Amino acid sequence: MAEDNVNLVGTLEKILYSNLENGFLIATFLVENTTKPITVKGIVFNTHERETLLLKGCWENHKVYGRQFSIREFMPVEPTSEEGMVRYLSSKVFKGIGEKTAQHIVNKFGKNTFKIIDISPESLSKVKGVGKKQRKSLLAAWDEQRGLRDVMTFLRGVGISHAYAQRIFAKNGLNSIPLIKTNPYKLTDIEGIGFLTADGIARNLGFDKNSPHRAVAGLLYMLEQQALNGHTCFTRQALLEKTSQELDIKLEILESSTQQLLDDSLLYSEKFQFMNADEEELIFRPRFYKAEQRIAENIYRILNSDAYTVFEGESSLIEEQQRKVGLQLDPAQKEAVEAALKHKVLIITGGPGTGKTTIVRFMLGIMRPRIPSIGLAAPTGRAAKRITETTGSVAYTIHRLLEASNMGFQRDRENPLEQELLILDETSMIDTLLMDNFLEAVPSASRLILVGDVDQLPSVGAGSVLLDLIESGTIPVVRLDHIFRQAADSFITVNAHQVRRGKALNFSALGHKKDVNQELLDFYFIKESNSEKIVEKILLMSTERIPQRFELDPMMDIQVLTPMHRGVTGSINLNRKLQERMNPDAKGLEHREQWFRIGDKVMQQQNDYEKQVFNGDLGRIVNCDSKTKELHVKFEHGIVQYQSKELDQLSLAYAITVHKSQGSEYSAVIIPMTTHHYMMLQRNLLYTAITRGKQLVVLIGTEVAISKAVENECSMQRFTGLQHQLSELGLTPLY
């Protein structure tokens, strides 16, 4: 059992292990007035052996290494004993001052040593062995350390955590205090410090809630919140009212601050006409405004370039390919292929079972002999792998196609892609910023085919690019609605299209077919209203019923998809329960109230170009070092190492949100549907969840919740400016 909230003062004796990147160390530590060093571990930046520290943390009993102290936070302090003073002055902090010289200084001034250095530093010239050069070096280091202590003390005093205090000091040095006192909202420039943290500090410093600094930071914060909800912009009036209401700032102050931000080009505005509504002024952060502007410009550039391969006799080419592969296209499929041969840019959209993959494969059969360089890509690794498997042509992630690195994308306007035909699958997943980067790299002479299901959830990132391009009417669009016979035999496909059309699911038909044919189905509904019992049924289905009856791997073939993070049937709780059931005893480590164990299924939460792992990639933990807090995770392309500071990139993935499942397919999916998810009961969410299953979909919940989702067509409208930017360039609708 750990003993919490223990304070220790003493000297860092010997550093046994140190990771310079994340600050984690293991060391021996001599507590004041003791003779036997103890073992300490934790995050301690910029420290040296023989430095005197205040450590805050708790005692732990490690099953291998015994009793040790776990550091939660630390603070450099001045030692009070003469022995401690000698140790401190002879540490690496004071270069050029050895133990002998340090002893001379302390012998001369005794317990007043530090006081003398502070108020009468010239007295050091009277000490044997302290020359001019040594004195100058010592005093410079002394001022720096005193400044560090003063800054850290100030920062902690205004409510800044130790970890953030270190980042602030690293960036601003001794200027940290005056900067924060003048405008604490400047702290939002520090990674990890958001508006809410800076606002708390400002309150501690006595800043008025209607301060112009607060109004500016609050407006930028509220726009970023809207970006997290999918908007690339927001109406001026709604932004002002929402900011005023949630942050309690006077409207007139916000009006003035908004205008100042616009004048300084820290915000952009455009006036739009929505449908038959009144004209609205929309406010943008610069990166979204410029991204949508460039998307429109690049679409215009590609559409208006005459430099591309022209195909003669589309109909005869299609007939020839049909004979070659023994396939007869239906009218909509034929229209799609003809359009692909005819147009520079094309959108193909349709739901599951409508033949999108067949069309892509068919088009490649015609175009591959005639276009030497073709690129296939998708937003996620799993989606790219699926295209590769279904078409027989190698597909890449968009990031890999653009040669992404931690320095950015290597392919751009100056160094464009070389392919003459580019086909993007799962285009509904592509957000504004990624589409901007992709189109910047598309040569004017290239053909571009965008394939996707516009009825799925929009991209996780801000924007609704596919929908905006379709609704703009500026690009030819082929819509596929016909469900082919083989797909029509699947209840997954049939029910997905029922949901898409807003029609009720016929659960009685499922039972009837099972009774008649005595066969396993691909779609089941289990009625249950109690959330705790839903969890128990998910555990039973995941670990016993489905693996046994369908011969599927419970760890990697079965995926639980839930609408929410929080709640009894949210991903956080389900991950904990599934981990306890499927992988309870493996070696692991704790990180931010989450245990990672060898064998766990995990998901990458952000793009890491250096590691070549991307948001949504699934892997399994194959090794764990609890001492250094390092993990090794096996992904499809190989094993990736994660250091302690990188663990935020990972989350358990026994259960994931529906949003995180976009672009992926799983052998079996289990979906809890309860009215506790009321805000997330949306048609496109249920539709997306169902279409993730290849062999099996199991809904567990209530018919009321499912009906609510089917009826709720009004998924939240996203405010974007792409259609407006397209019209500004004179791209008139084709239809």
Beta strands of 274-416 (E only): which ranges?
Answer: 279-284, 345-350, 374-378, 395-397, 404-405, 408-409
Q: What is the pLDDT of residue 698?
A: 94
User: How large a percentage of the chain has pLDDT more than 70?
Assistant: 92
Confidence of residue 715 (pLDDT cuts 50, 70, 90): low
* Residue-by-residue DSSP string for 290-324: HHHHHHHHHHHHHHT---S---S-HHHHHHHHHHH
- Can you tell me the mean pLDDT for 29-51? 84
In which band, very low, low, confident or very high, does the pLDDT at 579 lie, cut at 50, 70 and 90?
Answer: very high
Give the model's confidence band at 494: pLDDT under 50 very low, under 70 low, under 90 confident, else very high.
confident
Kind of pairing, strands 693-701 and 666-673? parallel
Query: What is the chain's mean pLDDT, rounded?
Result: 86
CA dist 545 and 344 (Å) reads 50
Token pair 């469900």 is found at 483
Rounded to whole angstroms, the Cα distance separating 611 from 687 reads 33
Beta bridge partners of 670: 560, 698
Determine the pLDDT at residue 613: 82
Report pLDDT digits (tens) over 512-571: 555 445 567 889 999 999 999 999 999 999 999 999 999 999 988 999 999 888 889 999
> Phi and psi dihedrals of 388, rounded to 5?
-60, -45
Is residue 275 scored above 70 in pLDDT? no
Q: Where is average pLDDT lowest: 307-316, 590-599, 688-697?
A: 307-316
Higher pLDDT, 448 or 305: 448
90 DSSP 8-state letter:
T
Q: Does 21 have pLDDT greater than 70?
A: no
CA separation for the pair 105, 113 (Å, rounded): 7
Instruction: Specify the pLDDT at position 18.
Output: 81
Name which of 71, 70, 60, 84 is nearest 10 in CA terms: 84
Q: What is the pLDDT of residue 277?
A: 65
Provide the 3-class DSSP secondary structure of residue 652: strand
Q: What's the pLDDT score for residue 487?
A: 56
Q: Report d(CA 182, CA 194) in Å as an integer.
A: 17
| pLDDT on residue 556 | 87
pLDDT in tens, 361-394: 999 999 888 888 999 999 887 788 888 988 888 9
**pLDDT band for position 2 (cuts 50, 70, 90):** very low
User: Quick one: pLDDT at residue 267?
Assistant: 95
Helical H segments across 422-529, by residue range = 432-440, 465-472, 485-488, 491-500, 507-517
pLDDT of residue 491 exceeding 80: yes
pLDDT of residue 39: 93
C-alpha 609/C-alpha 245 separation (Å) is 40
213-223: average pLDDT? 95
- pLDDT of 516 reads 46
281-290, 380-389, 578-587: which is most confident = 281-290
Is pLDDT at 735 greater than 50 in this prediction? no
Q: Is the pLDDT of residue 1 over 50?
A: no
CA–CA gap between residue 696 and residue 677 (Å, rounded): 23
Contact 43, 163 (CB under 8 A): yes
Measured distance CA(657)–CA(689) in Å, rounded: 9
- The 10s digit of each residue's pLDDT in 496-521 is 888 888 888 877 655 555 544 556 78
Question: The tokens of 609 are what?
Answer: 């170009």
Encode pLDDT of 56-94 as tens digits: 888 988 767 788 998 887 877 777 778 878 878 887 778
Contact yes or no for 480/453 (Cβ under 8 A)? no
pLDDT digit string (tens) for 407-435? 788 999 999 999 999 999 999 999 999 99
Residue 133 has pLDDT above 80, yes or no: yes
Residue % of the chain over a pLDDT of 90? 35
Q: For residues 215 and 617, what is the distance between their CA atoms, to the nearest angstrom?
A: 39
Do residues 205 and 184 make contact, with C-beta atoms less than 8 angstroms apart? yes
Helix (H) or strand (E) holding 252: helix 251-263
**Token match 């006409």: residue?**
273
Residue-wise pLDDT tens digits, 134-188: 888 888 888 877 777 777 778 777 777 766 777 787 788 778 888 888 999 998 8
d(CA 537, CA 670): 10
Residue 126: count other Cβ atoms within 10 Å of its Cβ.
Answer: 9
pLDDT at 118 > cutoff 50: yes
